């Protein structure tokens, strides 16, 4: 991925310059990019409130048209990363097939269980379970739930607040991770299981995420 990084950065910055009017860089106004959309262009889906992040994610998810859910997963990840000025993740069809395989295993029990035994993670992996509310749990719910752990993470100590969990957040913002693939399944009992896999995996012991 190294050689393409400057290109990604450029397309990201270029998009940023194109979509954010100079005078309105830090606040949303009714006159932002969305309202300047040319007629005939498809409207972004309702979850995509940030045109910059949506555009960058769509460009990094070339085959995603058929699976709108993929782009939704990617968009929410990149919202968190771009807020930290980190390069956006690209969608990985290989990670996606792995995640789909694991999600299919969970359809019957909806158990909040990792695909790797403890200490033997070959890929980064974040998992989510939604019970009550059933099939209404969306990719954004999972990613926002993971990202919310950020308040408990101390960069200075590179540690999580006692008794709290930060590893889902640190995986999302892990700088050396370049790609993600996820899957969402509505289980037989009506709950939802979601899983995302990351490459290269983050949360390397003794290293900071960024």
Ligand X SMILES: *[C@@H]1O[C@H](CO)[C@@H](O)[C@H](O)[C@H]1NC(C)=O
Q: Which of 12, 44, 48, 52 binds ligand X (CB under 6 A)?
A: 52
Considering only 50-58, 90-98, 132-140, 191-199, which stretch makes contact with ligand X by CB under 6 A? Answer: 50-58
Which residue carries 């990351």 as its tokens? Answer: 198
Q: Parallel, antiparallel, or unpaired: how do β-strands 124-130 and 192-199 relate?
A: antiparallel
**Quick one: which of 163, 210, 196, 167 has its CA closest to 74?**
196
Least distance CB 67 / ligand X (angstroms) = 23
Nearer to ligand X, 82 or 185 (CB): 82
Whether residue 128 contacts residue 185, with contact meaning beta carbons closer than 8 Å, is answered with: no
Assess 57 for contact with ligand X (CB under 6 A).
Answer: no
Nearer to ligand X, 28 or 113 (CB): 28
Assess 94 for contact with ligand X (CB under 6 A).
Answer: no
d(CA 140, CA 61): 17
Assess 83 for contact with ligand X (CB under 6 A).
Answer: yes
Least distance CB 31 / ligand X (angstroms) = 11
Q: How many CB atoms lie within 10 A of CB 93?
A: 15
Least distance CB 52 / ligand X (angstroms) = 5
Least distance CB 201 / ligand X (angstroms) = 24
Q: Which of 82, 123, 180, 185 binds ligand X (CB under 6 A)?
A: 82
DSSP H or E run through 194: strand 192-199
For the sheet containing 124-130, what is the strand order?
A: 90-91, 179-186, 192-199, 124-130
The mark string for 28-47 relative to ligand X (x by CB under 6 A, - otherwise) is: x---x---------------
- Residue 157, CA atoms < 13 Å, CB-side half-sphere: 8
Which positions lie near ligand X, rule CB under 6 A? 28, 32, 50, 52-53, 79, 82-83
């Amino acid at each position: 991925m190294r050689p393409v990084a400057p290109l990604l950065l450029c397309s990201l910055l270029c998009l940023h310059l194109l979509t954010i009017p100079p005078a309105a860089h830090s606040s949303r106004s009714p006159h932002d990019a969305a309202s300047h959309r040319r007629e005939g262009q498809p409207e972004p889906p309702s979850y995509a409130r940030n045109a910059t992040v949506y555009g960058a994610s769509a460009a990094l998810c070339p085959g995603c048209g058929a699976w709108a859910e993929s782009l939704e997963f990617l968009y929410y990840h990149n919202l968190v990363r771009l807020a930290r000025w980190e390069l956006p993740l690209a969608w990985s069809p290989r990670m996606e097939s792995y995640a789909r395989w694991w999600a299919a295993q969970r359809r019957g029990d909806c158990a909040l269980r990792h695909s790797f035994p403890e200490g033997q993670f070959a890929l980064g992996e974040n998992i989510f379970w939604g019970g009550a509310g059933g099939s209404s749990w969306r990719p954004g719910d999972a990613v926002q739930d993971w990202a919310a752990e950020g308040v408990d993470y101390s960069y200075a100590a590179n540690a999580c607040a006692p008794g709290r969990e930060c590893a889902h957040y640190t995986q999302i913002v892990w700088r050396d991770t370049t790609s993600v693939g996820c899957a969402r399944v509505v289980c037989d009992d009506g709950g939802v299981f979601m899983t995302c896999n990351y490459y290269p995996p983050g949360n390397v012991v003794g290293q900071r995420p960024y």
